[in-house]
Structure 1
Amino acid sequence: MSDTRVDVNVNFNDMNDRIRFEIRRTINALTLKLQRTVQEDMLTGQRLNVQSGRLRGSISSRVEEGKDWIEGTVGAGGALVPYAFVHEFGLTGSVEIKAHLRMIKQAFGKSITPTQVNVKAHSRKVNLRERRYMRDSLDLIAKIVPRNIDAAIERGLNGQ
């Protein structure tokens, strides 16, 4: 699974619960904005044309916090989409293909009655370019993070 993180370190104490609330709310919004950017802008045609929707559906976000930290995380991948990493970072090398059945409808360029044939296990060379759907989305959102955190602190200080 590939994770992209936006971390902001701020010292919190009992006197600034309002600031903490505003920063948490801002990090929630920024994390969701990053998730939407990946799903809607990058994976719906701009970088990858949707085929099954599994990669787009695997994009998830969460916000966690401790006593003196708040962290927003957006991740992709999982058991159903092991190819998420390959699309993000590319792959040049050899891939092992398992033995499988294949339905053929043509032989020597002529149509035939559909028939299943066994395909033996083999390796195949691949050269897939990186598509940077996660990292480029983070680069876009990272430009607005400092300004939004500063505004959250201001709102917390002003009690708005």
Structure 2
Amino acid sequence: MPSPPLSRWARASARCGNSGCLEAIAGGAALARRLSALGLEATSGSDVGQPGRRADGARGGRSVGEVLAGLVNFFNPDTVAVGGALAAVHDQLLAGVREAVYRRSHPLATHVLRIEPSRTGENAAAVGAGILAVEHALSPRQVDRVLAGAAR
């Protein structure tokens, strides 16, 4: 049975309350809703990674890739790391991401581009938040503030 068209899912809401955004269309919960609509039991993004339920990974990856293509064209990165709750379906997800990025990006922007799974897997958000917190707490400006306060 084919998946319902993406336009139907674009009306769904993300956790932030927005509709039509990337999370509402291709996030783990969105893919789980699409699988449930097809009669497969799926309640979360991690359920999407179960064997036999991975077919929507490439479709979600293409949605992510369409957004990433604009960023790749603008920033021209060497590497794009994909992680988070959908790390379990990274083969299918990355195939879809790569397909869309390479199709929609300028060849000069993709000449050396690597699109890889994150080494942090499902913990990508927590690791990123920790790094941001440490970088803020240990930034030169913050250290200067603390030292200035201790000198008084």
Place the TM-score, normalised by the shorter chain, in its bin. Answer: under 0.3
Larger helix share, 1 or 2: 2
Larger strand share, 1 or 2: 1
Q: Which has the larger radius of gyration?
A: 1
**Length-normalised TM-score, structure 1:** 0.26
- Relative contact order (C-alpha < 8 Å, sep 6+): which is higher? 1
